[in-house]
């Protein structure tokens, strides 16, 4: 059964889960892509912004940034991290900003939180309506046909006197439009270990399917999932960065 403890009652551990992510490199890479493909504007919205680490960097780069997330506990942490930003509680599959935007981001594979292909299409349509002409939608994605269910990521972290172990893994059954992200948190303090398991249902698509949907709205450019270099996708790897430009 799916659960979402990490984004609600365990939200205080989210930054520890993501401690090995180079948010600066990711944000800087997107900034470079926006400079190459965008309209040179500085209004920005981060979808599924979580606790706001990407937003912190975009604000420091000079963007007028805001964030949207469906979980209030995550937004509370984000507001503390980025007090100058505006935060909205809402669904990324159906949103409407007050003013058109120059850049919309959705990183850490969060585009897959759209619950099914039809909801994903609603999200993409909402993004299109929210962007100015020449605006850019940038996100990363995983191709369902390239998922290896045997692979997982694991790391450890410490907070105060507690030791944590985090693991995450994609799982795809091989057919249909559903995949899952499986997360495990282990906390050990004073010799006692607690364990939480989260499983998040996510939309599964091939890059071919995703590109077909996006091309109804945008000029689509696909790059290797490398935040240090800008290289066109090689049509082989299962992770990629999508840069979508509104004409």
Q: Enumerate the domain spans of the chain.
A: 20-144+204-246, 145-203
Residue range 7-33, pLDDT digits in tens: 655 678 889 989 999 999 999 999 999
Buried b (16+ CB within 10 A) or exposed e, 129-146: ebbbeebbbbbbbbbbee
**By C-alpha distance, which of 74, 69, 70, 47 is closest to 58?**
47
Rounded Cα distance, 179 and 210, in Å: 15
Percentage of the residues of the chain whose pLDDT score is greater than 70: 96
CA 136/CA 9 separation, integer angstroms: 34
Tokens of 60: 């420091």
CATH classification number, 145-203, choose in 1.10.3720.10, 3.40.1400.10, 3.40.50.300, 2.20.130.10: 2.20.130.10
DSSP H or E run through 68: strand 64-69
Arch. (CATH architecture) of 20-144+204-246? 3-Layer(aba) Sandwich (3.40)
Distance of alpha carbon 186 from the chain centroid: 23
Q: What angle do CA 108, 114, 118 make, to 5 degrees?
A: 145
Give the Cα separation of 119 and 185 in Å (integer): 29
Return the pLDDT at 83.
98
Distance in angstroms (rounded) separating the CA atoms of residues 120 and 74:
22
Tell me: pLDDT of 2 over 80: no
pLDDT at 220 over 50: yes
* pLDDT tens string 82-137: 999 999 999 999 999 999 999 999 999 999 999 899 999 999 999 999 999 999 99
Average of per-residue pLDDT across 69-85: 96
Residue 12 has what pLDDT?
83
Query: What is the per-residue pLDDT across 31-52, written as a single tens digit (0 to 9) for each?
Result: 999 999 999 999 999 999 999 9
pLDDT of res. 4:
52
Which residues fall within 8 angstroms of residue 204, CB to CB, at 6 or more apart? 112, 144, 172, 176, 177, 178, 179
Q: Is the pLDDT of residue 240 over 70?
A: yes
Rounded Cα distance between 59 and 192, Å, is 40
| Residue closest to 29 by CA, chosen among 243, 223, 229 | 229
pLDDT at position 1 is: 35
Q: How far is Cα 66 from Cα 97, in angstroms, rounded to an integer?
A: 10
Please tell me the predicted confidence (pLDDT) of residue 11: 78
Has residue 158 got a pLDDT over 80? Answer: yes
**Per-residue pLDDT, 43:** 98
pLDDT value at position 7? 64
């Amino acid at each position: 059964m799916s659960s979402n403890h990490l984004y609600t009652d365990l939200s205080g551990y989210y930054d520890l889960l993501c401690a090995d992510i180079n948010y600066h490199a990711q944000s800087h890479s997107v900034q470079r892509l926006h400079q190459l493909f965008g309209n040179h504007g500085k209004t920005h919205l981060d979808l599924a912004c979580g606790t706001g680490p990407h937003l912190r960097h975009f604000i420091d780069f000079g963007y007028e940034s805001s964030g949207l997330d469906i979980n209030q506990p995550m937004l509370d942490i984000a507001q503390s991290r980025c007090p100058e930003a505006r935060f909205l509680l809402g669904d990324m599959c159906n949103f409407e900003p007050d003013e058109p935007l120059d850049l919309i981001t959705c990183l850490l594979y969060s585009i897959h939180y759209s619950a099914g292909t039809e909801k994903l299409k609603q999200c993409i349509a909402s993004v299109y309506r929210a962007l100015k002409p020449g605006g850019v939608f940038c996100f990363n994605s995983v191709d369902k046909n390239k998922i290896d269910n045997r692979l997982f990521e694991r790391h450890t972290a410490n907070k105060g006197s507690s030791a944590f172990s985090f693991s995450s893994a994609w799982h795809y059954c091989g057919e249909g439009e559903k995949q899952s992200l499986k997360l495990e948190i282990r906390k050990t303090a004073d010799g006692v270990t607690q364990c939480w398991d989260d499983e998040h249902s996510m939309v599964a698509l091939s890059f071919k399917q995703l590109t077909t949907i996006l091309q109804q709205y945008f000029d689509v450019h696909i790059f290797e999932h490398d935040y240090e270099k800008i290289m066109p996708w090689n049509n082989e790897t299962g992770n990629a960065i999508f840069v979508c430009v509104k004409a």
